[in-house]
Structure 1
């Protein structure tokens, strides 16, 4: 299964980008052993529409384009989602892989979040906890958890309970 990271907003050069790249590089190296292939990052610029609803609609439409194939699934990161432990998160990714999903798009929204209907279309809606995170930190957390999921699925000792 191919993993694609969809992000609203661009990550500038700096330590945050380096850390994201480090985790995604690890994912690219370890993922194939458990059937997860890293398909890259799709970044879009934040919408400049006048209202939050219009911005969310434009950004969500771009995300929907990536999951238009019925063999794809959407993993949405949203504050209203379910807080999962790392093993449960990895298990759900493994389940999607085992169900024959070919592409899993992990989506991080912009400052306004996601259009509410996008959560209805998602296979999983996951919260990064109850705290609010800046986009750069959210991207680091997601990249690390995707790598951690591959490590768990590979029975690698990176994750410790």
Structure 2
């Protein structure tokens, strides 16, 4: 199952980008044997200042056709890492060939796009900067692949 991260904003060179790149490389390596990955990142920018609606249009174009859409949203389900791993494996086992994780900009994801999502995932009740959400998502994808492969990375 191919994985896409569709996000508002460009991750510039720095510690966050280094972390995302490292975790996604690990995910691709670990997930390959599990039919998970590779993971592609699509970044969009609303240069005209159209707000959430414009961002949603750009994000919608970045989502691969036929993908299961999982929005990252503070109102979404809060899952443990093992439950997230099971959710990914379940989507894969249901025959989904693509999943797109959608990360909005500073104001979140427009309601029109949010309402089309198949699933909404939250990293807790706190609001996180959208650039950190990318890092956390990349790490959780790697952790999920590690859990599913039986590797010792995750200790519960």
Alignment partners' CA distance in 2, 1:137 and 1:107: 14
Q: Which consecutive unaligned segments of at least 5 residues does structure 2 have?
A: none
Partner of 1:41: 41
CA contact (8 A) 2:6 2:63 kept: no
User: 1:81 and 1:21, CA in 2 relative to 1: closer, same or farther beyond 3 A?
Assistant: same
Report the TM-score, using the length of structure 2 for normalisation: 0.92
Alignment partners' CA distance in 1, 2:53 and 2:138: 25
Partner of 2:122: 127
Partner of 1:156: 151
Q: 1:53-76: CA deviations, max 9, x gaps? A: x52122212222344633x20111
**TM-align CA RMSD:** 1.5
User: 1:145 and 1:68, CA in 2 relative to 1: closer, same or farther beyond 3 A?
Assistant: closer
Q: Report the count of equivalent residues.
A: 156
Moved over 6 A (4+): none
Partner of 1:118: 113
CA contact (8 A) 2:46 2:58 kept: no
Alignment partners' CA distance in 1, 2:59 and 2:52: 10
Alignment partners' CA distance in 2, 1:68 and 1:135: 21
Partner of 2:87: 92
Alignment partners' CA distance in 2, 1:66 and 1:14: 24
* Aligned match for 2:56, one of 56, 60, 65: 60
CA contact (8 A) 1:90 1:150 kept: yes
